[in-house]
């Protein structure tokens, strides 16, 4: 049975209509389908997101990328931090992608620092299982890894992936949804993380 995963969304202001919108890259649909995951978009409203998670018995959460932390998406920051605490408490898995990984790291006590040469490029990362080439769209990196997290991938001195020592929480700085076709390594990562989710 496919796992139901709550997926967080970017906040976007539409200047033409004056609307505050929550958006999701359409490419997530194809990638998560390849991972045998049913995506449930979550609102950037703490109470509504937690209610949805409980009512639908969501099996875990995906914190997507897009935008900076502590910037113009305060409702998203608060929602994701609340969902992270809920997930750790309930034993639900979480995957943070790019901004989502930054949120996990900072929520657990880490910091961020500027990095150059990581926007709109491809580079090699060293993982626990060897090297691979990934995309890169970030200008910040984790600075001071919290005690609860281990680094699992690097590009030079930049941490590119993390894993929680005591919870099913992981993060990656690349965007698996932005590849022309789902990368088997990313599909395996998602399946491994969420396949043991409660249900």
Residue 111 is encoded by which pair of tokens?
């910091």
- C-alpha Rg value of the chain to the nearest Å: 16
Tell me if residue 54 is catalytic.
no
Retrieve residue 155's tokens.
């590009």
- What ranges in the chain are assigned the alpha helix state H? 27-34, 46-55, 74-90, 99-107, 184-195
Q: Does the annotation mark 177 as catalytic?
A: yes
Return the residue matching tokens 């209610």.
Answer: 51
Catalytic residue among 118, 138, 164, 175: 175
Q: Which two tokens stand for residue 154?
A: 């690097």
The catalytic position among 35, 98, 138, 155 is 98
Residue 98 annotated in active site: yes
Of 72, 52, 57, 63, residue with least CA distance to 11: 72
CA angle 98–142–11, rounded 5-degree value: 35
Buried b (16+ CB within 10 A) or exposed e, 29-65: eebbebbebbbbebbbeeeebbebbeeeebbbbbbbb
Catalytic residue, chosen from 80, 102, 168, 177, is: 177
DSSP state of 177: G
Residues annotated catalytic, as ranges: 98, 175, 177
């Amino acid at each position: 049975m496919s796992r139901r995963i709550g997926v967080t969304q970017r906040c976007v202001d539409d200047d033409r209509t004056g609307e505050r919108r929550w958006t999701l890259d359409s490419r997530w649909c194809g990638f998560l389908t390849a991972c045998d995951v049913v995506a449930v978009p979550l609102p950037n409203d703490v109470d509504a997101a937690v209610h949805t998670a409980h009512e639908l018995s969501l099996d875990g959460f995906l914190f997507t990328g897009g935008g900076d932390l502590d910037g113009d998406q305060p409702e998203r920051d608060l929602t994701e931090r609340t969902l992270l605490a809920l997930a750790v408490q309930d034993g639900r898995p979480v995957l943070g992608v790019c901004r989502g990984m930054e949120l996990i790291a900072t929520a657990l006590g880490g910091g961020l620092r500027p990095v150059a040469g990581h926007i709109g490029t491809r580079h090699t990362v060293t993982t626990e299982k060897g090297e691979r080439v990934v995309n890169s769209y970030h200008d910040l990196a984790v600075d001071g890894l919290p005690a609860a997290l281990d680094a699992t991938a690097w590009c030079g001195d930049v941490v590119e992936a993390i894993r929680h020592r005591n919870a099913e929480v992981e993060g990656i700085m690349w965007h698996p949804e932005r590849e022309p076709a789902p990368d088997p390594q990313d599909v395996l990562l998602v399946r491994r993380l969420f396949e043991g989710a409660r249900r």
